[in-house]
Amino acid sequence: MKPQYVGLVGDIGGTNARFALIDSAGHVRNPHTLKAADYSSLGEAITRYLQQTTGRQRPTRAVLAVAGPVVDGEIAFTNLSWQVSECDLLAQFEFEGVKLLNDFAAQALAAPLLEPDNLRVLGPAVPAAAGGPLVVMGAGTGFGVAGLARGTLRDIPISTEGGHAGFAPSDEVEIELWKRQQAKFGRVSIERLLSGSGIYDIYQGLAEISGWEAPLTSEMAVSEAAATDPLAAATLDRFCGIMGSVAGDLALTFGARGGVFISGGIAPRLADRLASGSFRARFEDKDRLSEYLREIPTSLVLHPYPAILGAARQLLQMERL
């Protein structure tokens, strides 16, 4: 007997469009990833996915986690030339209900559901404050941030555009990096450094500061060369340190005593460096508030589809309404 699908969930970023189906028992089925650049619109990508999986049988609801701010049920993607609204999707696919939510808000909804084997502790294994707010943040094509306010009846995700907050240098080297970014872009946001393109900009900036040769030509090349190339290694160390500082700032901003979760496409590739380098020290290095930060756990998310998990949680809540 074929499963009855009650919902479509998705995680739509600047590079990939990931989809899955939710069956009547709440199980996630048929996860599949499409390259966003291969499609002219979100509707076209959804159509392709449904053709590959359900055929004529269509889910009744959809929850899609999207990379960018959702305003009045509509999004213009930050790093993708797509624009779509909940009304558009309702009309095109005849769903009974559609919800667009920020992709990191979806990950925040997923964070309390993650099992220990879906996480890697970064720093000391301190216990999270029961019911405390938490933060999810991560770097990929861009830099995403969301919070989660915990409640007795339900949790409320807090969508933000925190990746576009200003970058704060922590030492002379980062001041020089900031100056180079400022000359290039004008305003320097966190995302200018904590992203794939940011890694390469850090690499080039460190080369200029130090006078070293910089023969590598991409962020991926820098990541792959770090085991043997001192400049590439210094770049990734600096990237992880900056991420620690930003994570600490966000923990203070949200009062995230429930923990800070690091996700995104880049962090899992830097897992050992995040665990052994300056990430946690810079997370805690907050002057008079350092003791406060020492009591907040930090974890790397290893689950392959946290936004899908969060979108599924949101969809099941819709089903219960």
pLDDT in tens, 138-157: 998 889 999 999 988 889 99
3 state DSSP class of 3: coil
Phi-psi region of 177 (alpha: psi -120 to 50; beta: other; left: phi over 0): alpha
| 120-132 residue pLDDT tens | 999 999 999 999 9
User: What tokens appear for 28 in the block?
Assistant: 């996630």
In CATH, what number is assigned to the domain containing residue 167?
3.40.367.20
Residue 147 and residue 225 in one domain = yes
pLDDT in the model for residue 194: 98
162 contacts: CB under 8 Å, gap ≥ 6? 137, 143, 144, 145, 146, 190, 250, 253
Which domain range does residue 22 map to?
5-107+305-320
Residues 277, 312 within the same domain: no
In the chain the first and final C-alpha atoms are separated, in Å, by 28
CA distance 142 to 103: 12
How far apart, in whole angstroms, are the C-alpha atoms of residue 93 and residue 102? 21
Average pLDDT estimate for 34-43? 93
Average pLDDT, whole number, for the chain?
93
Are 256 and 274 in the same domain? yes
Task: Examine the domain organization and report whether 312 and 295 are in the same domain.
Answer: no
Name the 3-class secondary structure at 308. helix
Q: 137-151, 195-209, 233-247, 305-319: which has the minimum mean pLDDT?
A: 305-319
Same domain for 260 and 179?
A: yes
